[in-house]
A and B are shown apart, each in its own frame.
Chain A
Amino acid sequence: MVPLSYYLVLSGILFACGVTGFLIKRNIISIFMSIELMLNGVNLSFVAFAAHWHALAGQVFVFFVMVVAAAEAAVGLAIIIAVYRTRETLNVDQVNLLKL
């Protein structure tokens, strides 16, 4: 039997990797993927708690988190494409002027 804390530690590790990626990566798409990793870590935590407290609302909330993440990914990638068209770069350090 797997204790709840193991699931939480795994979720924490994934979240920490996501935060690290967000801080150290310079490519905007990689940063976005670290955000998705953070969301996945949190989803695992929700499902683990839903199993622990026998509350299915946790799983329903994971469903909503996934939907919101999908919507956010769509709009975020569209913004990235729009920014790439004008700035010609995907490196966040070079997108530092408000007007070209």
Chain B
Amino acid sequence: MISVHLILFLVFGAVAVAGAVNLLAQRHPINSALSLIAVMAALAGEYLLLGAEFVAAVQVIVYAGAVMVLFVFTIMLLNAGVEEHTKGSHVASLFGIPGVLLGSILIAWAVLRNSGTEAVAAGPWINTVSNGRPQDLPGSPETIGPLLFHEFLLPFEITSVLILIAIMGAVVLASKPPSTSSGPAKEAGN
């Protein structure tokens, strides 16, 4: 059954898979980084199709807009060049690619065979628009917020401590050993 939902899913899915394959195929890390950004953007579209609007926004803001910026900064600072092929990488390609391909085909076959065609219940959530305002999606901030601050309060606080530790660790690890100059390396560790 061709519906707009299916077409959009296939479009975003194709972009995500193309980006993932491009990440493997490119030899320069900056191209891989840009392909990964494309994958993340496509996944943000997929999350919107599943009704998770807050998660989609956070994916773009945090993942594509901050974590990948960090990756791109590091690639620029360390002047990463084109990747060399070593003996180890030839062996890994020889066994790794067919192995993973086989494994993923097996999993895909098992999943598709055992599940019916019951639709993801996100379908009714993508309603027709009325007066330009779509129906409130279930993953809106108003619904995720209470969950985050009532049932999941302890993990939330622990992740904030985790981020604090990560900040301190990154600053210490990336700072120059002899002097206390705050050069570009410190900005990359931020």
Contact = CB atoms under 8 A, between A and B. Distances in A.
Given a CB threshold of 8 Å, the question of whether A touches B is answered with: yes
Interface of A: 1-10, 12-21, 23-27, 29-30, 32-34, 36-37, 40, 43-44, 47-48, 50-52, 54, 56-57, 59-60, 62-64, 66-75, 77-82, 84, 90-91, 93
Contacts of A74: 70, 166-167, 169-170, 189
Interface in B82-140: 83-86, 88-89, 92-93, 96-97, 100-101, 103-104, 107-108, 111-112, 115-123, 125, 138-139
Contacts of B172: 78
B122 A51 contact: yes
Interface of B: 1, 3, 5-6, 9, 13, 16-17, 20-21, 23-24, 29, 32-33, 36, 39-40, 43, 46-47, 49-52, 54-55, 58-59, 62-63, 66-67, 70-71, 74-75, 77-78, 80, 83-86, 88-89, 92-93, 96-97, 100-101, 103-104, 107-108, 111-112, 115-123, 125, 138-139, 143-144, 147-148, 151-152, 155-156, 159, 162-163, 165-167, 169-174, 185, 188-189
Main secondary structure, interface of B, reads helix
B96 A24 contact: yes
B20 A17 contact: yes
Given A48-B50, A63-B148, A40 B111 contact: no
Nearest to A3: B117
B50 A51 contact: yes
B29 A20 contact: no
